[in-house]
Structure 1
Amino acid sequence: MRCIKERILKEFREEVRQQGLRFSMDDLAARLGVSKKTIYKYYSSKAEILEEMIDQTIENMEEKAAAIIQDEQLTLVEKLKGVMAVAPDHYDLTDVRILNQMKRFFPEQWEKLDHFLQSDWDQIKSLVEQGVEKGYIKDYNVSLMMKVIIASINTTLDQSFYLNNQITTEEALEDIVEILLGGILENN
């Protein structure tokens, strides 16, 4: 059972990549080479598949951030850089085109993902506060620093800019982090 669900999710992601969220369950069934009835054995709706995809994306990003924070071999600055550059394994849900479609056609799922994208910054804020306290980061208003960090990282949601400039999302995140920290670190 787990294998078929993973396959459905994988092909759902591919449909999202190619068509956005405007594909039909018939399209997904054709891609999988199964009937819609088979899909409905595992998922009651397209929204439910999307919901699981969102849950996996959030869980994946949270696990990556937790592993970085718990790594005792990393310095505070390395942890901050690592957590700021955490990216999902799949970028399907971090494209502004997909987010706009989700907002319009799947508002409940969009709210869940948007809430995560807007509010799950506590780890970074804590690291920034520790950095200020230890003198690694200049003592600017932390709320303002967080606003700049969040806005900068969220620019990766507009993937068309990065594609047009031949920059991968990973490269963009790494460079954004370097730009931000190069400007706020006390000692370079």
Structure 2
Amino acid sequence: MKEKIIKTALEHFIQYGFKTFTMDDLAKELGISKKTLYEHFATKNILVEACLDSFIDTMKAFDFTQGEGSIIERIFANNVKIQQMYKVTTNRPLWELQKHFPELYERLDAFLLDTNFEWIDYMLEQGRKEGIFHNHINEKFYKAFYVSMNLARCSPKYFPETEFPLWDTILNSTEYFLRVLVNEKGLKELERVLQSQRQQSAG
């Protein structure tokens, strides 16, 4: 029962927010009493922590290095996989986690930072091997640039979701992050992948 509660809670927290989706909502969704829910998770904080553990475990098991095609193709394919896995449509869960569960947010933020840095190291190495990235890239600066721009992308102050839908913004950010890295050969590959993405969206 605990695993079912965690799975259902995480799905709905991601859709509606960690504060917005209440324990009452969860009990109704599961078809159980609130008393039964609290027998498994004494507080919402404990439940949110269990959901965070589940999310981190899933992300650790997700192999970003697998897939077919160039590293550019795999970057866009990974975005699609994450979107399909979690059905996330808004940054609200992140905002609510930061505001109402700050210690858990700090833990998630540290995990994502390490994961992003590992991914950037792999991405740059692969791009160079494929001959589509510049050979002389200031990796330390690029990592700082990547992380700071992602923080800005998640901020409603700079990218209000009424004007910048979440996944449109992620895809646009991915494109511009790559434009910094690609050489002439890589630019052709990026344009090819973007054209394929547009055709899939239109279809």
- Following superposition, the deviation at residue 70 of structure 1 comes to 2.4
Provide the rounded CA distance (Å) in 2 between the counterparts of 1:84 and 1:144. 23
TM-score (structure 2 length as normaliser):
0.67
Provide the rounded CA distance (Å) in 2 between the counterparts of 1:180 and 1:103. 25
Among 120, 124, 128, the alignment partner of 1:128 is 124
Gaps of 5+ in 1: none
Partner SS state of residue 69, structure 1: coil
Provide the rounded CA distance (Å) in 2 between the counterparts of 1:32 and 1:120. 33
Provide the rounded CA distance (Å) in 2 between the counterparts of 1:51 and 1:16. 14
- Following superposition, the deviation at residue 130 of structure 1 comes to 3.9
Higher relative contact order (CA 8 A, sep 6+): 2
Say whether the 8 Å CA contact 2:45–2:101 is kept in structure 1: yes
- Following superposition, the deviation at residue 36 of structure 1 comes to 2.2
Gaps of 5+ in 2: 188-203
Residue in 2 that maps onto 1:175: 172
- 2:114 is aligned with what amino acid? S
- Say whether 1:44 aligns with 2:42: yes
> In angstroms, what is the RMSD of aligned CA positions?
3.4
Change (3 A) 1:104 1:55: same
**Higher deviation after alignment, 144-153 or 129-138:** 129-138
- Alpha-carbon deviations, 1:35-92, whole Å to 9, x = none? 222102322321222122222333344444x1x4123x32233334545776461438
Among 46, 66, 69, the alignment partner of 2:65 is 69
Partner SS state of residue 120, structure 1: helix
Say whether the 8 Å CA contact 2:19–2:97 is kept in structure 1: yes
TM-score (structure 1 length as normaliser):
0.71
- 1:78 is aligned with what amino acid? E
- 2:172 is aligned with what amino acid? D
Change (3 A) 1:23 1:75: closer
Percent identical pairs in the alignment equals: 23
Say whether the 8 Å CA contact 1:87–1:170 is kept in structure 2: no
Residue in 1 that maps onto 2:56: 58
Alignment length, in residue pairs?
180
Provide the rounded CA distance (Å) in 1 between the counterparts of 2:145 and 2:79. 12
Q: How does 1:110-121 map to 2 (within 5 A)?
A: 110-121=105-116
- 2:69 is aligned with what amino acid? L
- Say whether 1:79 aligns with 2:74: yes
